[in-house]
Amino acid sequence: MLPAKKNRILPLLWAVLVWWTAYALFFASQVVAMGETDGRPVAWGEALKYSFAGWMTWVPLSLGFYWLALRHPIERGHLARPIALHLLAVAGVIVAKAVYVWYSNPWLGWYDALPGFGEVLLTSVRNNFMTAWTVIGVAHGYVYYQRARERELRIAEMERSLVSTRLEALRAQLNPHFLFNALNSVAEMVHIDGELADRMLVALSALLRDALKQEPQQERSLREEIAAIEHYLTIEKIRLGERLQVRWNVEPVCLDAPVPVLILQPLVENAIVHAIARRKANGVLAIAAGEAGDALSLRVENSAAPDDGDRRGNGIGLRSVADRLQLLYGERAHMRRLDLGPDSYGVELRLPLSRHSAAAAPAEAFA
Query: Going from the N-terminus, what domains does the chain have, and what CATH number goes with each?
Result: 6-156 (no CATH), 241-366 (3.30.565.10)
- Report which of residues 270 and 251 the model is more confident about: 251
In DSSP terms, 289 is beta-bridged to: 250, 298
Instruction: Please determine, for residue 162, whether its predicted confidence score (pLDDT) is greater than 60.
Output: no
Based on DSSP, count helices (H) and strands (E) in the chain, helices before strands.
9, 7
Compute the average pLDDT of residues 242-265: 91
Q: How far apart are CA 226 and CA 262, in angstroms?
A: 9
Q: Which residues, at least 6 apart from 143, have a Cβ–Cβ distance to it below 8 Å?
A: 2, 66, 69, 70, 73
pLDDT class of 181 with cuts at 50, 70, 90:
low
pLDDT class of 259 with cuts at 50, 70, 90:
very high
pLDDT class of 360 with cuts at 50, 70, 90:
very low
**Using an 8 Å Cβ cutoff, are 289 and 222 in contact?**
yes
Q: How far apart are CA 91 and CA 83, in angstroms?
A: 12
Compute CA 81 distance to the chain's CA centroid, rounded to the nearest angstrom: 39
Q: Which residues, at least 6 apart from 182, have a Cβ–Cβ distance to it below 8 Å?
A: 204, 207, 232, 235
pLDDT class of 367 with cuts at 50, 70, 90:
very low
Q: Quick one: pLDDT at residue 362?
A: 35
Compute the average pLDDT of residues 339-366: 66
Compute CA 305 distance to the chain's CA centroid, rounded to the nearest angstrom: 43
Q: What angle do CA 73, 77, 83 make, to 5 degrees?
A: 45
Q: Which of 340, 252, 218, 237 is nearest to 283 (CA)?
A: 237
User: Residue 88 is which amino acid?
Assistant: L
Q: Quick one: pLDDT at residue 12?
A: 87
- Beta strand 258-260 with 244-250 is unpaired
- The answer for 353, left when phi > 0, alpha when psi is -120 to 50, beta otherwise, is beta
Q: Quick one: pLDDT at residue 266?
A: 83
Residue 133 host element (H or E): helix 117-190
Helices 265-274 and 117-190 cross at an angle (nearest 10°) of: 30
Q: Quick one: pLDDT at residue 361?
A: 35
SS3 347: strand
Q: Which of 95, 93, 117, 94 is nearest to 105 (CA)?
A: 117
Q: Which of 300, 301, 349 is nearest to 321 (CA)?
A: 349
Average the pLDDT over each of 68-77, 148-157, 166-175, 257-266 and give the range with the smallest value.
Answer: 166-175
Q: How far apart are CA 224 and CA 6, in angstroms?
A: 43
The pLDDT tens digits of the residues spanning 203-236 come to: 878 877 776 665 667 788 999 999 988 988 888 8
User: Residue 39 is which amino acid?
Assistant: G
- Beta strand 344-352 with 258-260 is unpaired
Residue 222 host element (H or E): helix 222-240
- The answer for 132, left when phi > 0, alpha when psi is -120 to 50, beta otherwise, is alpha
**Using an 8 Å Cβ cutoff, are 277 and 188 in contact?**
no
Strands, E, within 110-254: which ranges?
219-221, 244-250
Q: Which residues, at least 6 apart from 72, have a Cβ–Cβ distance to it below 8 Å?
A: 81, 82, 85, 86
Query: Using the 8-state DSSP alphabet, how is residue 282 labeled?
Result: -
Q: How far apart are CA 185 and CA 234, in angstroms?
A: 11
Q: Quick one: pLDDT at residue 269?
A: 85
